[in-house]
Amino acid sequence: MQVQIAANQATNVTTDILVFGLAGRGARSPGWQQLTRILGTNPAPMLKILGWTGKTGDFVSFPAPRAAKCTVIAVGTLAERAGVTDNAVRTLAQRVGAAARTAGLDEAAFFLDHAMGGRGEATEATYQAIGAGLGYGGYVFDNHLGKKNEHKPISSVYAYFSGRRNRDAMADAIQRGVIIAEAQNQARTLVNEPPNILNPESYVQYARDLAAERGLEITVLDEAACAARNMGAFLAVGQGAGYDSALVHLAHKPEGATTRVVLVGKAVTFDSGGLCLKPASGQATMKMDMGGSAAVFGTIAAVAALGLPVEVHAIFAACENMTGSKAYHTGDVITASNGKTIEVLNTDAEGRLTLADALVYGAELKPDFMIDLATLTGACIVALGMNIAGIMGTNRSLVRALKSAGDAADEPMWELPLPPDYRELIKSKIADMKNIGGSYGGAITAGLFLQEFVPEGVPWAHIDIAGPCYVDTPSATRPYGGTGFPVRALVEWIRGL
Ligand code: BES
Ligand code: MN
Ligand code: ZN
């Protein structure tokens, strides 16, 4: 991305899309003043005709007057008065990025009220949000369309910043936002690829390509290697599939790193439900059941691209949950690599089985923090809806830090408890545990199940992204398909370590 930070009048900047981010209107809004000058009249009547009401999140665009040095003017409301947030800036930039890609415009200039002396203060995080939003909004998934999108994403951005010092820091922040968005978009593509293209075998190659591109270490355990490590829970899930299962371990090990983070992602490339088969409607989106691993993949990609000084491991146990003649049965008793036995009472509760062995493997790396991400339970969607992830964990400060990173990144997480007395619900009569709980609290019983595979003393958090991983009912700000949730939050958290 070509980035320019300066403090010109909007009338003097040559660009394709001139963007105003307003925090109010009238005399107290510098952007409103500049817009008035460009239009030569009070903007309100025209904006109102376009459907703008001045509420936070409003966004309209229209052709620029002939004399202007831009083609299109876009106006977004960041706040009705005070209280602009970087999330509002990111959302605005996302819409600009999407509109530009649709229209084939490749330059944008941002004039945010709070960067021009209006209410609030524009910080590095604000400029990072511009980059992150542009990058996210400019994404299209057209790998399988006969007619590809012929336009490129925005390649040049100007942003107003009144300070003289710190201009380089603001430019760097925009670039950082773009890098994070590109990694997040990689995660989105992994989720969007259909299960015949992205399967447990091809997924290994995606990881090898990333390792080569970003200089990551990579270890791949094939089925024999997993068997040698007694990963009976993970291997059981893939038994009924035509593809071989594999455990992938990527590592970013910068010199001098003092903190080690292990990220584990669910990587069921297609979840048919197994013998406890899902109906067609339930299977339709189950290519996204590897979304946890996609987030882990995108996060380590961003961490490596940014060269963050933290040791990060990305681990995923890739398999497909199918119904082949060797498929695991309802009623099977299997043994995980920590020696614990599990009675399988529902083959559709497979994610926790794959994660069990991946968590045991991850804990052997003696992490300072271990986080798993998984499209684990429909129950979590029932509890929190489509946009909010459930988070559980054994370490207060870790959960708190992840939640606040999620808030800052607009990737919200809400904590659910791990009450020890609910452990009763996963008791089995013939094994150490069963893989389902009762009718209620399904997200929690899944979390308690995972906890059985995390040695005490490892600070651990589990994020259930079954809802926010994928958008099936899109809106202007939530485009269709994989979301890459919560790559931004994880990168922010790692940046803060
Ligand atoms: N992958 C699903 C969970 C899921 C459902 C993710 C909908 C995204 C959208 C998981 O493997 C599953 O099937 N869970 C079962 C567990 C049950 C059998 C205990 C569920 O939630 O119904
Ligand atoms: Mn399932
Ligand atoms: Zn699943």
Query: Please, are residues 462 and 391 in contact by the beta-carbon 8 Å criterion?
Result: yes
Question: Tens of pLDDT along 356-387?
Answer: 999 999 999 999 999 999 999 999 999 999 99
* pLDDT bracket for residue 173 (50, 70, 90): very high
Nearest atom (ligand 1) to Cα of 435: 19
251 CA distance to ligand 2 middle (Å): 28
Asked whether residue 165 carries a pLDDT value surpassing 90, the answer given is: no
The protein residue whose alpha carbon is closest to atom 8 in ligand 1 is 466
Question: Residue 472: what pLDDT?
Answer: 97
Where in the sequence of the chain do the CATH 3.40.630.10 domains occur? 193-495
Instruction: Enter the tokens of residue 26.
Output: 């009238």
160-188: b or e for each residue (b if 16 or more CB lie within 10 Å)? bbeeeeeeeebbbbbbbbbbbbbbbbbbb
* pLDDT bracket for residue 209 (50, 70, 90): very high
Question: Tens of pLDDT along 446-497?
Answer: 999 999 999 999 999 999 999 999 999 999 999 999 999 999 999 999 999 9
Percentages of the chain per state (helix, strand, coil), in multiples of 5:
40, 20, 40
Nearest atom (ligand 1) to Cα of 278: 13
Query: Which candidate in 28, 278, 400, 478 is catalytic?
Result: 278
Asked whether residue 111 carries a pLDDT value surpassing 90, the answer given is: yes
Give the length of the chain.
497
According to CATH, what is the number of the domain 2-184? 3.40.220.10
Task: Dump the DSSP string for 168-228.
Answer: HHHHHHHHHHHHHHHHHHHHHHHHHS-TTTS-HHHHHHHHHHHHHHHT-EEEEE-HHHHHH
Question: Residue 81: what pLDDT?
Answer: 86
**Residue 336: DSSP 8-state:** -
Question: Residue 187: what pLDDT?
Answer: 99
Asked whether residue 120 carries a pLDDT value surpassing 90, the answer given is: no
461 CA distance to ligand 2 middle (Å): 21
CA 336 to chain centre: 29
Task: Dump the DSSP string for 51-90.
Answer: T--S-TT-EEEEEPPTTSSSSEEEEEEEESSS---HHHHH
Q: Where are the beta strands (DSSP E) in 216-303?
A: 217-221, 246-252, 260-271
Is 147 an active-site residue?
no
Question: Tens of pLDDT along 248-286?
Answer: 999 999 999 999 999 999 999 999 999 999 999 999 999
Query: Which candidate in 188, 266, 287, 352 is catalytic?
Result: 352
* Architecture category of domain 193-495 in CATH: 3-Layer(aba) Sandwich (3.40)
Is 423 an active-site residue?
no
Nearest atom (ligand 1) to Cα of 380: 21
213 CA distance to ligand 3 middle (Å): 30
Please state, rounded to an integer, the average pLDDT across all residues of the chain.
97
Give, for ligand 1, the residue of 348, 388, 439, 444 to mutate: max count of ligand atoms closer than 8 Å to Cβ. Answer: 348
**Residue 250: DSSP 8-state:** E
Query: Please, are residues 361 and 315 in contact by the beta-carbon 8 Å criterion?
Result: yes
Question: Residue 202: what pLDDT?
Answer: 98
Where in the sequence of the chain do the CATH 3.40.220.10 domains occur? 2-184
* pLDDT bracket for residue 143 (50, 70, 90): very high
List pocket residues of ligand 1, CB cut-off 6 Å. 271, 289, 346, 348-351, 375-379, 436, 442, 466
Using DSSP, how many helices (H) and how many strands (E) does the chain show?
15, 19
235 CA distance to ligand 1 middle (Å): 19
The protein residue whose alpha carbon is closest to atom 17 in ligand 1 is 349
Q: What is the mean pLDDT of residues 113-131?
A: 95
